[in-house]
Chains A and B, each alone.
Chain A
Amino acid sequence: MSLLVANSLTVSATLDGEHVPVIRDLSFSLAPGKVLGLVGESGTGKSMVGRTVAQSFPPGFAVSNGSLSFASADLVTMDTEARRALLGREIAFIPQEPLSALDPVMTIRAQFDEHLARIGVAARDRRERMLELFEAVHLPRGAELLARYPHQLSGGMCQRVLIAFAFASRPKLVIADEPTTALDVTIQARIVRLIAEMQERENTAVMFITHDLRLAAQVCDDILVLYAGRTAEYGSACNVFAAPGHPYTRCLQLANPAMRKRRELYALPERMPGLRAYNAITGCAFAPRCPNAISECTRAPPPLAEIGASHFAACIRAARTADIAAAAVSPTENRAADATILDVSGLTKRFASGGLFRRFELTAVRDVSFTLRECEFVGIVGESGSGKSTLARLIVGLEEPSDGRIAIVGRQMDGSRDAAEHRRRHVQMVFQDPQSALNPRRRVGGIVTQPMEPSGASREDRLARAGLLLSEIGLPPEVAMRYPAQLSGGQRQRVNIARALCAVPRILIADEIVSGLDVSVQAQLLNLLAALRRERQFSMLFISHDLSVVRYLCDRVLVMYRGELVESGPTEQVFATPAHDYTRTLLAAVPPDDPAEVWQALSA
């Protein structure tokens, strides 16, 4: 007996008077106690499924066909009162952004109380129930926690509180929409484990929405891969992951850098069609990006065919999917020369904070020493708050060190004008968020050649240089005349990289430049960086919280923990035989490449 059943569910949006099916013919069933993963890149419509359950659509969106039934009652045709009675009691949600899901001006207790009152817990039992639930989600000192405000808790704690909220009513179904995306890697494993634990205890069904196929393979019983609003593949997690039938699933898998074996990343070309293009698609929506596509693929949408035991894929050439492969990469050809290009020793940064009377100091970076050789890629890993971004800002000169020395290409940074000029010539930085790092009022051509501006280069010179830089980062020359808002996230990040490369720096510092991007875009960017490295001579400090990315790109890795450098060494060595406990924790937090393997972080 299934709890949640979708039967050829279609959700349409009205865009400029035209009806566009955002989700088309979606069918699945979710049994009690099972976990269904909805996987796909951003824009595939995976969140729309969660919204359909609550019937909370953006303006212009509505269910136009099919049904979605919960315990045999159709959620689409159900009247609002009846649905409201279900939501929060029988069906609960775990949101993506824990901090924005809690009211910042109410204490945890007030919010929890409100929720418990709504689900009908008697006033005198509420406090006890709250403490009981906090214990269940492993939140220590629950009594103290009740008096706190959301901003006094970390992101991970907020997410635990929200999980406690969600399971408070012993719901039959929990919908978790990217519950770990906004959190650190180390916390991700704990949150996932917690959801699994709660789910087993209450025999709850969980719909787990995520863009990370590897994570879904670990957590879910069944996986449904969505592409452009249609089911690309549906089957048990083991089958889907071990023998993907749809090329899209296979490409997603290959776009994710592996933790064990280093191989070339398969970068899906182009982008998924936008909503407005849906109606123009005649055949398989994935065909334009598919390495296996033949002319027949564009004729009619492929039907969902059974390719194995309850394993379905919408591909007419599903048998050939396994042929898609990314070339193996020889372990980083060690091209790093011996010359030291950046020498940091005893670097310390303290921030003074607090008011006029109660001042205290916070040490963001403590006594960090390392060197960077010519043409070497070094990764810096650590969770948020470990001081890795501060370290980057110290090296490029956006912050002044409290203590310690930085030498760049043989020159000490002593705060003089000459030293600053020297630093500017040799070091450039790529910022994390291209949205904020690109001036929305400048054209791309102006942005990438910005370093030429102070010297008063002519318009022709700049345009010529812009064309050259754009071709180097794989964008067509006409992009030079566009504004950043007209580009996709991945394209913007490329522009961001191009600007840093314009001045031909010898050291590039990249602060989390691939986090927050889809795996396919991430793979494109990582391959771009690897290609640039082959063509140009530069060293890079690559800051990331994603270990598999660092594993793919870097020769050496530095592990930071609470402002200190706790481990450093060649990537292979650190990943194979981590010496520090923290490094081991970080490594264990990444879901393994093969779902058959035991994810230690889950079982521990």
Chain B
Amino acid sequence: MGPVLVGCDGSAPSGRAFDWAARAADRFEAPLHLVYVVAPVVMPMELTGYALGQMVQEHQAWAETLLGTLREKLPPHVAARCTTEVRHGSPADQLLAAAHDKGAELVVVGTTGRGAAGRLLLGSVADRVVHLAPIPVLVAR
């Protein structure tokens, strides 16, 4: 089976997505690709004293650490075929672009699951990915 791609952002739902993706990659002897997307920072112009470029760099470094930590949690034979990537831009679109670039055969996404609006349990990233992905998508819960 082709690569399994999972979106990771350090949240609890994305942790569950990671667990599902890791099991799928293990079971189907597939490569596992961990992707973190650094979303554009939106800040009021009046806020000064923050170096945007530096924030993005720090964010990127934190993301790389997170992905490295996740990779270390994997069983060695899965970790051996696990790759990681930090991308920048719209999270859903970048996950889809990464899936395309990797030739992924399955995308796993977490969902906010806050259920604030009654039974509406899907986050906007997962929603966009399930709508636009040309390959199977597992919405982990």
Query: Are A and B a genuine interacting pair, yes or no?
Result: no
Using a CB–CB cutoff of 8 Å, the interface residues on chain A facing chain B are none
